[in-house]
Every structure is written in C-alpha cells, then in structure tokens.
Amino acid sequence: MANNSEINSNNVVWHKATVTRERREQQNGHRSVSLWFTGLSGSGKSTLAHAVEERLHQQGCRTFVFDGDNVRHGLCGDLTFKQEDRSENIRRISEMIKLFLEAGVISLSAFISPLRIDRQKVRELIGDGNFFEIYCECPLEVCEERDVKGLYKKARRGEIKNYTGISAPYEEPLNPGLKVNTSKQSLDDCVELILTTLAEKGVRINSNCKEIDS
C-alpha cells in the first residue's frame, strides 16, 4: 500500500490547462461540488446517492457516483479492510474527487468512512467549500434488519473481522452539512431535502442546467 508520504515523483510539474474549472462549470451550468454520504452499512447511502444523481442528471447536470463497492473492484482493489487500508481507500477517492471537481462534475461519494479524522482529511484535501457531508442516520438494528448483503450476520458470527458497527467503531459526524434519517424519512423526502439544500447553496449558476429544486 502506498500513501502520500511514500510517493516520490521527481521532476514533475503540474500542468495548468487553458480550459479551467470555472469555464467548465459555466458550460455545465452548475458548480462542481462533492456530496459525501456517510453512515453505517445498510443506512441507504448508495441508494440515496444514486437517487440524487438520477434527479440531477434529469435536470441536465454533470454527475458521477463513487460507490464504495465499485471502487474496490478496481482503483482500490488491492486494499484490505484493515484501518490503515480503509484510510488509504478514502485518500485515493479524495484525490479522484479533486480531479472531478476540476472537470466541473458534481461527485456523489457513498462510503461508510467511519472515522471523523478520515472525513476531515477529505475536507482538507479538496477544500472546505467543495465538501458537503451528508450523514445518513439509521439505527444499527434497522441496518441489521435490512442486511442486504448478509454481512452483519457474518460479522455477528465472527466470520468478518473489524466490521463497522459490530467489531469496529463508527464515529457520527459532529456537524454534518445535512443529516437525513433514512429509517424515518422516505427516499423521496431525503432526495428533495438534498436538492433543496443544493439550490440554497447556489449550485446552479446559469440556464444551461435546469433549476435544482423540488
């Protein structure tokens, strides 16, 4: 596993493109931003991220979802679920998000990302103004009832080590940009709340992208 301190790329200079982030955003009709969905496995992060993306796409916005499982099929396929590898997983995604921000894209990232320090590192790396943390609040017992992948059962039997919520901690965000209760609020209600919040934050900048509202 390689982390930032181990990377030694000598004699390289960042190339400044003539097509800037601002020009791409103007063409797209909206600002680029990172929507970071965090919560326990089974809390509905991926479902909500994809539902929000669908609405934004229908409104003409440039979007992409970074899904935790999908990323581990390729970019982070060499990483385990030990804590140091989980932190490296988040770091790599953060670097990808930086590039997508420059591309003028709204990125939606669905990761458990259990530790506050790792989520704070994302915020620091991509910039506070680019990072919008969405906490998918859901009681552990509800997540276990859903248990779509059967992973909680395996964790309870001791077949999976370091499983968040069972044998590894989840640290709730202290001050998220938005908190949605996915055990009490409907999917549609959560989507509308997020879209309304984006509209209030002025993500839309011109008529190329339709209104981002409910």
Q: Which residues are catalytic?
A: 113
Q: Return the residue matching tokens 């044998």.
A: 167
Measured between alpha carbons, how far is 78 from 106 in angstroms, rounded to an integer?
27
Q: Which two tokens stand for residue 210?
A: 């339709």
Backbone angles phi, psi at 15, to 5 degrees: -90, 125
Q: How far is CA 39 from the centre of its chain?
A: 10
Q: Return the residue matching tokens 């669908």.
A: 54
DSSP letters for 77-93: TT--SSHHHHHHHHHHH
Measured between alpha carbons, how far is 141 from 164 in angstroms, rounded to an integer?
13
Query: How many Cα atoms within 13 Å fall on the side-chain side of residue 142?
Result: 12
Q: Which two tokens stand for residue 113?
A: 């990302």
Measured between alpha carbons, how far is 83 from 159 in angstroms, rounded to an integer?
17
Q: Residue 146 in contact with residue 183, Cβ under 8 Å?
A: no
